[in-house]
Chain A
Amino acid sequence: MWIYEKKLEYPVRVNTTNPTLAAMIIEQFGGADGELSAAIRYLTQRWSMPIGKAKAILTDIGTEELAHWEMVGTLVYKLTKDATIEQIKGTPFEAHYVNHGKALFPHDAAGVPWTAAYIQSKGDPVTDLHENMAAEQKARSTYEWLINISDDPGVIDTLRFLREREVVHYQRFGEALCLVQEHMCKKKFY
């Protein structure tokens, strides 16, 4: 089961109101390489992992991705909560606003709703761990593009933290892949 902790993984500081930036950051809330995709991907793949270490890493990284999803949602929320209609009009956030108001919704920066088609679970641990390593790199790239277009120091600080976590997760998945391959080679000699 899961237990919710009433705190963020890392403090989200937002210095400005910026609906345009919020509309871009929502990419990581409901986009293909976003945090929701990451969490659902890893948590779904757990059942077909052959060793405890791989089950553990998928469980714990998948759980951390949910905490990142909460942080990305908090960025979007804080960037838009004080926005007036005048500040929203004419920005890319306007299209989100007419459907969802200031509520969060898992879609990407272009408004495409989240779909399970963004993830894969093949039942082959080597394939799945490669998918996950690629996913971490894709998310890292997205955070870099987001950092490039951000001009709020608080937002940049949070995005830098999230980018760094992608690097750590990539490393841990690489180690899990080695451990799974070692395990599979061992089995052949029974």
Chain B
Amino acid sequence: MKNNQAELLEQLMEVGFVLVETNLYLDTHPDDERALRLHNTFSQKYKELECIYEAQYGPLKFTSMSVLPWQYVDDPWPWDVDFGKCRC
């Protein structure tokens, strides 16, 4: 796996995580306009990053398009991604 794939994936995961948080918060606070604006902003960002990632490395979801052959089957699968050593 090329390093830039892991880096791009990690960026996508970071933005995706914001959506996990705003999603749960909005479930119990559906009238919170500030939270909804945050969600919508990051939803847009997520779509853009997902588009860039999938164009280069293939579908993250079965609903996405692929070139031939179907790239969804390509390694690495999530548990094999090397994010490097912990810098913590």
A53 touches B27 (CB 8 A): yes
Supposing A9-B17, A57-B24, A176-B28 touch, asked if A4 and B61 sit within 8 A by C-beta, the answer is yes
**Are B83 and A12 in contact, CB atoms less than 8 angstroms apart?**
yes
Cα separation A174 to B60 with both chains bound (whole Å): 33
| B:18-39 near A, CB below 8 Å | 20-21, 23-25, 27-30
| B87: min CB distance to chain A, Å | 9
Nearest CB of A to B4, in Å? 15
CB distance from A109 to the nearest CB of B (A): 20
Partner of B13, one of A11, A53, A61, A179: A11
Interface size class, chain A: 20 to 34
By a CB distance below 8 angstroms, the chain B residues around A56 are 27
Q: A60 within 8 Å of B by Cβ?
A: yes
Q: How far is it, in angstroms, between the C-alpha of A168 and the C-alpha of B20 when the chains are bound?
A: 11
Spell out A's residues near B (CB within 8 Å).
3-13, 15, 53, 56-57, 60-61, 64, 70, 73-74, 77-78, 153-154, 156-157, 168-169, 172, 175-176, 179
Q: B-side interface residues toward A, CB under 8 Å? A: 9-10, 12-13, 16-17, 20-21, 23-25, 27-30, 59-63, 72, 77-79, 81, 83-86, 88
